Amino acid sequence: MSDIKKVVLAYSGGLDTSVIVRWLQDTYHCEVVTFTADLGQGEEVEPARAKAEALGVKEIFIEDLREEFVRDFVFPMFRANTVYEGEYLLGTSIARPLIAKKLIDIANQTGADAISHGATGKGNDQVRFELGAYALKPGVHVIAPWREWDLNSREKLLDYCKERDIPVEMKKGKSPYSMDANLLHISYEGMVLEDPWAEAEEDMWRWSVAPEKAPDTPTYIELTYEKGDIVAVDGQAMKAHEILAHLNKVGGDNGIGRLDIVENRYVGMKSRGCYETPGGTIMLRGHRAIESITLDREVAHLKDSIMPRYAEVIYNGYWWSPEREALQALIDQTQHYVNGVVRLKLYKGNVDVVGRKSDDSLFDEKIATFEEDEGAYDQKDAEGFIKLNALRLRIAASKGRKL
């Protein structure tokens, strides 16, 4: 333990990480550097500075990462139409590689020889933080207090604070939901949600109205795409994080983006969680719509076939891996002609595509029409096409083979 002189801690200013600051000081007798990221979680991050100072922290880093987060992590992920296990839009997963990167950057900058985080030993986040850290700085030491200490309840954490005069809210009783928020989503776990049969309480949701309480008049929006990324909403150019924030607002107002799932964690257990991802839900629907007219069929099908693997790579914490980079290169190559505008109708929890157009569209009305095509498509060609594709089936059937 004496080898650890300085540690960079991912610090929120809440109960757990405030305890970790003092625990690191007491246990490792080391200097603690705090890092607080603004990822658009909707809460002020600057108060973390005063809290860290009160704990004797001398080097305090607070960074606004909203634009980098959406531009360099969320947008590349959405180019792949990424969904984990058919439903989850990876709101927590995609934030962890950026935090890991910044922890290592600050460790290099301050000369720290270790990093630390407040993820528990039961979850995915410990894996995501640490895989990222080791990929970016192989020799870094990682301290995960939840895997070392015996402060395994809120009561014990509060008692620890009382004994050491740690300035946190001394409020005993039932814990609130375990929540994680950033510009892409809010996640909720714990309490009643630990019973997969129990319906989530309506007052739990923060960003969205209940679909049945959403406006009775639909909202129409237009998304402009360049190389697979949204660059404007309703014709107004915006930065990446501004786009997502705007879509969160309009989506939440229309009851869009609620999700209740039981997922398979990388560590082996099943976990029930609820998610609010209004902007991401809109983005996914819009991106698939613009790809429907701009992507070649086989390219689109190839993308769909590798998407579950890409989603798994991100969910499991391998953003900083050669396989993710290889997949990303393929995905990005497909996006050169994914340009144009998609019109969406938002209504009581639903996102409907009602229009799409592009100068790079592969949709040819002269060929697809049910009316006279003036020879653009010779229907007689279909006979040979069908017979050739049926050849193996006809041969097998002629030999008496049964399915």
- Please check whether residue 33 is in contact with residue 9, taking contact to mean a CB–CB distance below 8 angstroms: yes
Mean pLDDT of the 332-342 span: 98
Q: How far apart are CA 340 and CA 360, in angstroms?
A: 8
Question: Tell me, which fold does domain 6-65+89-164 have in CATH?
Answer: Rossmann fold (3.40.50)
Q: Is the pLDDT of residue 233 over 60?
A: yes
Conformational region of residue 175, where left means phi above 0, alpha means psi within -120 to 50, and beta covers everything else: beta
pLDDT for 44 equals: 84
The predicted pLDDT at position 2 comes to: 59
Q: Which of the four CATH numbers 3.90.1260.10, 1.20.1260.10, 3.40.50.720, 3.40.50.261 does domain 178-295+334-357 have?
A: 3.90.1260.10
On the question of pLDDT at 173 being above 90, the answer is no
- Where are the CATH 3.90.1260.10 domain residues in the chain? 178-295+334-357
Q: Is the pLDDT of residue 212 over 80?
A: yes
Comma-separated ranges of CATH 3.40.50.620 domains in the chain: 6-65+89-164
Ranking 161-170, 202-211, 231-240 by mean pLDDT, the lowest is 161-170
Nearest-5° angle of CA 35, CA 39, CA 40?
Answer: 135
User: Is pLDDT of 171 > 60?
Assistant: no
Catalytic amino acids?
16, 96, 125, 178
Confidence label for 14 from pLDDT (cuts 50, 70 and 90): confident
Sheet with strand 186-189: strands edge to edge: 178-181, 186-189, 270-276, 258-264
Q: Is 34 helix (H, G, I), strand (E, B) or coil?
A: strand
